[in-house]
Chains A and B, each alone.
Chain A
Amino acid sequence: MVNQEIKEKIMGIIEKYQREKEKLVMILLEVQKLTDRNYIDMEWAKLIAEELKIPYTKVYDVITFYSMFSIKPRGKYVIEICKSAPCHVNKSKDVVKEFEEILNIKMGETTPDNLFTLQYTSCIGACDVAPAIKIGEKVYGNLNKEKIQQIVMDYRNNSI
């Protein structure tokens, strides 16, 4: 069962896109932001399928096809580290190591307080400030140890 509050929010998003099947990807992007966990629950996906009158398997296909979607709950802040070649040659491996150490988790994991998830992303178009990462809609570039520590501290202190 989908909780009533979430259900109303999902219905609101579906109505905003006028129940158009073609807007499935955009609906899912908004639904994923509904909670602090940055994911799409399968029950929500079923509701969306019913409301748009499309097969649930199709919604599942779309969610699992695009890398921005997650069916597993993630942290409030998803730290996406670019692993494409331009960041790689600017030593993005050191960035990964630094985040893993500070957060005490491995790539793909979420901190026990559900605040941070570490994951890779393909190129985010910030190659001029490589090595770069993305947290939500914000991009941080020219990263070094000090900057990374500051970023984590700012998010922990809620001062972003």
Chain B
Amino acid sequence: MTKTLNLITEYAGKIKPDSIEEYVSVGGFEALKIAMGKSPIESIEEIKKSKLQGRGGAAYPTGVKWEQAYQIQKNPKYIICNADEGEPGTFKDKVILDHLPLMLIEGMTIAAYILNSPKGFIYIRGEYPESQKIVARAIKAAKERGFLGSDILGTKFSFDIEIISGAGAYVCGENSALVESTEGNSGRPRMKPPFIKNHGYMGMPTLVNNVETFAYVPYILKEGGEKFASYGTEFSGGTKLVCLSGNLVNKGVFEVPFGITLRELIYDIGGGIPDGRKLKFVQLGGSSGPCIPEEMLDTKLCYKELKSKGLTLGSGAILVVDDSNCAVDFLKCVTEFFYHESCGKCTPCREGNKQLLALVNKFANGNATENDLQIIKKVGYIMKNAAFCGLGETAPTAHLSLIKYFEDEFVEHINKKCRANVCNFGGVEND
């Protein structure tokens, strides 16, 4: 029995990404017409009923976010699509950008109609140059056929979309850093409040949503919020694009209903671990997510259930790590990532990541002490509570979870033993 669904991915790869004819032939732009025949409040109610939550990682209810944006009395309002997809192990927005950009454009145009916004941006990371070209062609095609630009569908409503390229900075996925970068600045997060919804691009109200979030909107308006919600759990509506990566037989992006378990995802859809290896742990939600042991795989994909176990789904990255890997060596890789990506604005993140890297290196090089484990926990606790933005707050998540579930391996490294035989204890300490 297949466990995947295709509410939004049905035509991915089956229609030309920039062909209006092909997109319309499979029901494209019908939702835009429906939205333009409704009042903004009616459309927002439909999205609220769908229980759609932001798919970028923060999982904020989309209907509520749009309602707040609608109520703000300041114009013009801008729409920004966050296509920065920098979380390691996440490559689901790329599927929409490359195969279904018109669905994204339709979702953004519906948001623009609701908010009466004249202008939107799709901020696509610099690492996706091909995707930028595909989306640009789709925008051009939509404009030529009157689905975008001036007087959309013969009405007085006009909305234009521009592509903005990133240039390599993970922190730009944070919404205020994204706005800074869209304005041509270095992408350092802003002090909040004022929030982006009130004071975003050029100081004007700005709605920022993830690619996947916008892509669900046409389905919801066409089929109804209740139908969408019915695919998920009581608390998490609809489907989610998950990215299976790591030591797995079937890696890739899959659309699955909420309520599916991690075990089903990994073994039934992902095909399990190759080469007769055993699963060691799973990192959920990308490098900023927790690493959990095999015993927790019966957890269901549901924002509420995950939260009750101290977990998050994040962007939908599910990285499977087998027993050929060392927990300490893996953690070193994750720490190097955050050390490199910290923007340097706040001390807990800038210095915390530096200290974490030095500490993890001590374990990897076999010269750590028992006390170093306590120091990692302490530094992690400070970062989690005192960092300026989500990057610094989540950077120690892997550390705290790996120490919680795999403390034995850390202790072994104190005694210069690496059970996966990955760490080279002749190495020079690098801090």
Contact at B246–A86, with CB atoms within 8 Å? Answer: yes
Check if A105 is an interface residue, CB within 8 A of chain B: no
Contact at A86–B319, with CB atoms within 8 Å? Answer: yes
Check if A69 is an interface residue, CB within 8 A of chain B: yes
Check if A37 is an interface residue, CB within 8 A of chain B: no
Per the bound structure, the CA–CA distance linking A24 and B167 in Å amounts to 11
Contact at B181–A128, with CB atoms within 8 Å? Answer: no
Residues of B within 8 A of A58 (CB): 185
User: Do A85 and B330 form a contact, CB below 8 Å, given A123-B90, A124-B127?
Assistant: yes
Contact of B89 among A62, A86, A129 (CB under 8 A): A86
Residues of B within 8 A of A61 (CB): 186
Q: How large is the interface on A (under 10, 10 to 19, 20 to 34, 35 or more residues)?
A: 35 or more
Max chain B Cβ within 10 angstroms of own Cβ: one of A21, A121, A127: A127
Residues of A within 8 A of B283 (CB): 85
User: Do A25 and B166 form a contact, CB below 8 Å, given A85-B337, A125-B85, A128-B252?
Assistant: yes
Check if A122 is an interface residue, CB within 8 A of chain B: yes
Residues of B295-312 at the interface with A, using a CB-CB cut-off of 8 Å, are none
Check if B365 is an interface residue, CB within 8 A of chain A: no
User: Do A89 and B247 form a contact, CB below 8 Å, given A25-B167, A125-B128?
Assistant: yes
Contact at B130–A29, with CB atoms within 8 Å? Answer: no
Contact at B333–A83, with CB atoms within 8 Å? Answer: yes
- Residues of chain A touching chain B, judged by Cβ–Cβ distance below 8 Å, are 20-26, 28-29, 58, 61-62, 65-69, 83-86, 88-90, 121-130, 134, 137
- A24-B185, A25-B181, A85-B246 known; 13 new pairs, CB 8 Å cut-off, are A22-B184, A25-B164, A65-B187, A66-B167, A66-B169, A88-B333, A122-B168, A125-B90, A125-B128, A127-B251, A128-B244, A130-B245, A137-B130
**3 shortest A-B CB distances, which residue pairs?**
A84-B88, A66-B167, A127-B245
- Residues of chain B touching chain A, judged by Cβ–Cβ distance below 8 Å, are 85-91, 94, 126-130, 164-170, 181-188, 243-247, 251-253, 283, 287, 317, 319, 321-322, 325, 330, 333-334, 336-337, 340-341, 343
